[in-house]
Amino acid sequence: MTQETRYITTPIYYVNDKPHIGHVYTTTLCDVYARAMRNFGHDVFFLTGTDEHGVKVEESAQKRGITPQALADENAAVFQSIMEMFSLTNDAFIRTTDPKHESQVQTLVSGLLASGDVYLGDFEGWYDSGQEEYHTENSARELDYKSPISGKPLVRATEKNYYFRLSAYQKKLEKLFADHPDFVRPSSRRNEVLGRLREGLQDVPISRTNFSWGIPMPDDPEHVIYVWIDALFNYITALDLGEEDKTLGKYWPANYHVVGKEILWFHAVIWPAILMALDLPLPKCIYAHSFWISEGRKMSKSLGNFIDLKEIDKYIDVYSMDAWRFYLVTQGPLGATDADFAAAKFHDVYNAHLVNTVGNCASRVTAMIEKYFDGAVPADNGEIFAETDWKSICSKAAACSQSAMETFSLQEAVECAMSIVRQVDLFINTTAPFKLAKDETKQEELGAILYQCIEALRISSILLHPVIPVKMDELHNALNVEMPKQNTSTALEWGGMEPGTTIQKVALFPRVEFATSE
Ligand code: MSP
């Protein structure tokens, strides 16, 4: 059987910004999916990177008296370092100043010029200089002629530009949305895009002449390619689709482009139209998450509630990297509403799910095996007077977790795995092995109970591994089992824990003092 591929991407991040919770969040979501897909035996390509061209980078570099390339190198390195810092398992890191990216963008744009999808024309519109984005009369009016991001007035601008013939794709895009209701998720975001799409599409300028830090238009170096077009191409240049040798092309189309809600239009409308013009298959889903706010308010440096790397570090120091990942994934803005990052909530979630559920269950089970069986996993041959069909509980939870991961329902995937852990706890309370331990005639029953517990725990730990990999590795060490390297399907079957295996007691998530952001 040929191995299925999975391709997931983050947006590429602007190098004139420093990484913060937003960037870490999107990348962590993709990381969880990539890890889970690898566990399920798929051939995965997980891409992230940096968006390095444009007037903002040129201006910031000027202010610091360095070249735009030097600024880009410096900040791309910071973004690259967070991959290691947060155990993010990206397969590649693309930079839009990579010569390989630049030359492919030129090849791809030449193709669009040749097909007539890109043409030279006059442009008049409302320009948001901060966002480097043009607005049509309609959308500018709706915005009250102000930038939706900076609040600064939009300016009327005219220039000769190269245009992409977006208007020609109106019908095809409408059909795409009608035929593939899951093309944009969640559905409320899809409705927003559809609403705007129905207002009608106009051609979009894709070149600029007011600055030079960008990829020159083929055969017309006065013009540089608009940074957004340059950036969108990263998803295919990273796979060499603009090269002769397209070995990595096997990963295209992407299963998920994961983006924040503010950049959905580019991904859900402009990008598919460009791909249609290039005759390339379309991504399967654009997943747009909402935003983190902080302690109930929009994040801002002046309010002092900005969650940058320094702030994140404090949480990792106190609670661990896995606790950070767990909070992001289970409490984050995956749906249509923004999510609040609050120190007190973080603490409660840590206690409820990690200390009292995963940690407590693992330490109870391992401690009892150590105490009653000298640390050797008992055999599963006693009769248990409790109607719990562990084999079916675990196989159902594994199937649920797997299908939720496939559909990028990460919170549901975690919940399915956690449900096993919760049932182990309940099972311990109802079968009361600690009482049976006092009766020598009940040794076999006691062993059987603890076997069910440790086996169920082992299975849940494989499902939880993509979210809390460090702690699950620690648990696997203690249980003397290995995280399967490739396909986990055999490892997820009931009975993998060998009786007689020597295990050790574990304390995975210690109780900690409540951390405030001071
Ligand atoms: N360079 C463009 C993307 C080009 S993709 C072809 C860009 N870069 S960015 O540095 O501004 O990063 C935007 C992304 O950061 C968002 O789409 C989102 O993934 C993440 N976030 C930024 N702030 C965020 C929050 N407050 N909350 C959650 N994520 C947000 O746009």
Give the pLDDT score at 129. Answer: 84
Confidence of residue 2 (pLDDT cuts 50, 70, 90): confident
Does 154 reside within a domain? Answer: no
Among residues 19, 49, 11, 33, which one has the least CA distance to residue 325? 33
Whether the CB-CB separation of 47 and 83 falls below 8 Å is answered with no
Q: Which domain holds residue 335?
A: 325-479
Q: Tell the residue nearest (CA) to atom 18 of ligand 1.
A: 260
pLDDT tens for residues 176-194?
999 999 999 999 999 999 9
Q: What is the Cα–Cα distance from 207 to 228, expressed in whole angstroms?
A: 10
Q: Cβ of 484: how many Cβ atoms within 10 Å?
A: 16
- Assigned domain for 347 exists: yes
Ligand 1 atom closest to residue 231's alpha carbon, by position in its atom list: 6
Helix residue ranges per DSSP H, 199-352 = 227-232, 234-237, 264-265, 271-277, 309-319, 321-331, 343-349
Predicted pLDDT of residue 518: 47
Q: Whose CA is nearest to atom 15 of ligand 1?
A: 23
Residue 317 lies in a domain: no
What number is the average pLDDT over the span 98-125? 95
**Distance between CA atoms of residues 85 and 13, nearest Å:** 17
Q: Give residue 436's pLDDT.
A: 95
Instruction: Decide whether any atom of ligand 1 lies within 6 Å of the 233 Cβ.
Output: no
The rounded distance, in Å, linking the Cα atoms of 109 and 102 is: 11
Give me the sign of the Cα torsion angle 211, 212, 214, 216: positive
207-236: average pLDDT: 95
- How many domains would you assign to the chain? 1
Locus of tokens 């329902």: 409
Tokens of 10: 């983050």
User: What is the per-residue pLDDT for 386?
Assistant: 67
Q: Is the CB of 17 under 6 A from ligand 1?
A: yes
In angstroms, rounded to a whole number, what is the distance separating the alpha carbons of residues 158 and 138? 17
SS3 42: coil
Indicate whether residue 334 lines ligand 1 (CB < 6 A): no
Q: What is the pLDDT of residue 333?
A: 98
> Could you tell me which of 358, 291, 280, 322 has the C-alpha nearest to residue 111?
280
Q: Could you tell me the maximum CA-CA distance found in the chain, to the nearest angstrom? A: 91
Measured from the Cα of 13, ligand 1's closest atom is 10
Token pair belonging to 473: 């590795």
**Is there a domain that residue 486 lies in?**
no
Residue 513 has pLDDT above 70, yes or no: yes
Distance between CA atoms of residues 184 and 166, nearest Å: 19
Question: Is any atom of ligand 1 closer than 6 Å to the C-beta of 56?
Answer: no
Is there a domain that residue 392 lies in? yes
- Which of 262, 294, 306 has most ligand 1 atoms within 8 Å of CB, for mutation? 262
Percentage of residues in the chain having pLDDT higher than 70: 98
pLDDT at 514: 78
| Residue 336 in domain | yes
State the chain's mean pLDDT as an integer. Answer: 94
Ligand 1 centroid distance, CA of 292 (Å): 11
How far apart (Å, rounded) are the C-alpha atoms in residues 47 and 234? 9
Note whether 292 and 307 are within 8 A (CB).
yes
- How far is the CA of 37 from the CAs of 83, 299, 487, in angstroms? 18, 33, 9
- What CATH number has the domain bearing residue 374? 1.10.730.10
Nearest residue (by CA) to ligand 1, atom 5, is 11
Does residue 36 sit within a domain?
A: no
Tokens of 293: 């706010």
The answer to whether the CB of 384 falls within 8 A of the CB of 445 is: yes
Q: What percent of the chain has pLDDT over 90?
A: 86
Output the pLDDT for position 122: 86
Give me the pLDDT at residue 316, please. 96
Which residue CA neighbors atom 21 of ligand 1 most closely?
A: 22
Lowest mean pLDDT among 60-74, 163-177, 351-365, 471-485: 471-485
Enumerate the β-bridge partners of residue 48: 93
Q: Whose CA is closest to atom 19 on ligand 1?
A: 260
Residue 395 in domain: yes
Cβ 260 under 6 angstroms from ligand 1: yes
Report the length, in residues, of the chain. Answer: 518
